């Protein structure tokens, strides 16, 4: 066995969980953005992993009517959607 000194990361997607979760987060982001557009009141998601936050930011990146921002720190970091 040879060790190259590079860190490796293995991702297991059991039963397509990750793909399903990504779709779920995208849908949640779109629905929350609609709520923010209508109410003009910011919406904060519960704390998320870095990958989940990234999915939400990307899902709304082309929507000029809202903006997203990560707030908090560590395991309490979450995404907030604001009206633009």
Burial 7-26 (b: 16+ CB within 10 A, else e): eeeeeeeeeeeeeeebeebe
Provide the pLDDT for residue 3.
57
- Beta carbons within 8 Å of 46's beta carbon, 6+ residues apart: 78
Q: Which CATH class is domain 16-83?
A: alpha beta
Entry field: residues in the chain? 84
Q: What is the pTM of this model?
A: 0.83
Q: What is the pLDDT of residue 22?
A: 95
Residue 40: half-sphere exposure toward Cβ, Cα within 13 Å: 0
* pLDDT tens-digit series, residues 22-73: 999 999 999 999 999 999 999 999 999 999 999 999 999 999 999 999 999 9
Domain boundaries, the chain: 16-83
């Amino acid at each position: 066995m040879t060790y190259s000194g590079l860190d490796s990361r293995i991702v297991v997607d059991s039963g397509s969980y990750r793909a399903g979760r990504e779709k779920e987060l995208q849908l949640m982001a779109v629905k929350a953005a609609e709520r923010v557009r209508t109410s003009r009141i910011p919406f904060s998601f519960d704390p998320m992993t870095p990958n989940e936050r990234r999915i939400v930011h990307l899902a709304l990146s082309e929507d000029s009517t809202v903006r997203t921002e990560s707030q908090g720190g560590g395991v309490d970091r979450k995404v907030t959607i604001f009206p633009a």
